Amino acid sequence: MCCITSEGHRVPVVEYSIPRERVTWDFFQIEFRKKFISQRFLNKKQKEFLELKQGRMTVTEYEREFVRLTKYAREYVSTEEIMCKRFVNGLNEFVVLVDRAYKVEELS
């Protein structure tokens, strides 16, 4: 099979024998990363994710960085519950205490 470009060139197109129903967004991302992103880069980003702590960041900045790095570490946040626990574990202790106090006030 060939595809004709806007310049009139014929470019061969490779078709893979993967059933259409198996090509999910996650499947595509995994295959794309295998081909175009080095394992060293992925390992570095996964390490950044696993070591991420709020530190001097605001909660909003921390949340933005957390979300950005999750795309490199999907296997570490396989469910929403696990993702939430990981997020809370990276928050500064003061923020966690304030959140708990707020929840107690809501129940009162």
- Residues in the chain where the model's pLDDT stays below 70: 1-17
| This prediction's pTM | 0.62
Contact 71, 46 (CB under 8 A): no
Q: How far apart are CA 75 and CA 49, in angstroms?
A: 11
50 close to 89: Cβ distance less than 8 angstroms = no
52-64 pLDDT, tens digit per residue, is 999 999 999 999 9
Q: What are the C-alpha distances in Å from 69 to residues 5, 37, 76, 100?
A: 36, 15, 11, 26
Q: How high is the pLDDT of residue 39?
A: 87
d(CA 30, CA 27): 5
Rounded distance between C-alpha atoms, residue 24 and residue 74, angstroms: 15
